[in-house]
Structure 1
């Protein structure tokens, strides 16, 4: 996987309270590209952070329907991935996010 694709697959960390609880179980949450596959996400995390990945769970989050003065609108949906690292591996970059 070339370096350009790595930065297109991983869009950034997804920092929430639920993601902080997952980090305690050695799982880290990323926003990923809508066309990213599990093997691509795994290779991107291994290439970018230099850590061994045990598993990847990817899911699509649907946008919420919201009412406006002009009718009903729809927020944009996104894709996120829960990345489980191998035993003994951690991402120090996420320490401040917890």
Structure 2
């Protein structure tokens, strides 16, 4: 596995209707590096967002979708999502405020 730094683990937040509903339970959804494991994701969230304490991390791997361009077929890139649950006394993540 490649040497992944904590700032390379989290790629971007996932903003969907379902993920916004999970924010009430202090669960945040991120698109993460495909080779990152749960401990790396936990460490990255706690370092990038001050005052947060991670309770649990759930991950899911998504295969690339089959796309067609003319007569040729191909696949989009594989992705990995992580749902990070914070503890009750943890601070909220600021990037989701005002959404």
TM-score between both structures, scaled by the size of structure 1: 0.85
Match of 1:38 in 2: 38
1:91 aligns with 2:96: no
Q: Which has a greater percent of helix?
A: 1
* RMSD between aligned residues: 1.5
1:71 aligns with 2:59: no
Post-superposition shift, 1:92?
Answer: 2.5
Aligned residues of 2:55 and 2:85 also touching (Cα < 8 A): yes
Q: State the aligned residue count.
A: 94
Post-superposition shift, 1:26?
Answer: 0.9
Secondary structure of the structure 2 residue equivalent to 1:96: coil
TM-score between both structures, scaled by the size of structure 2: 0.85
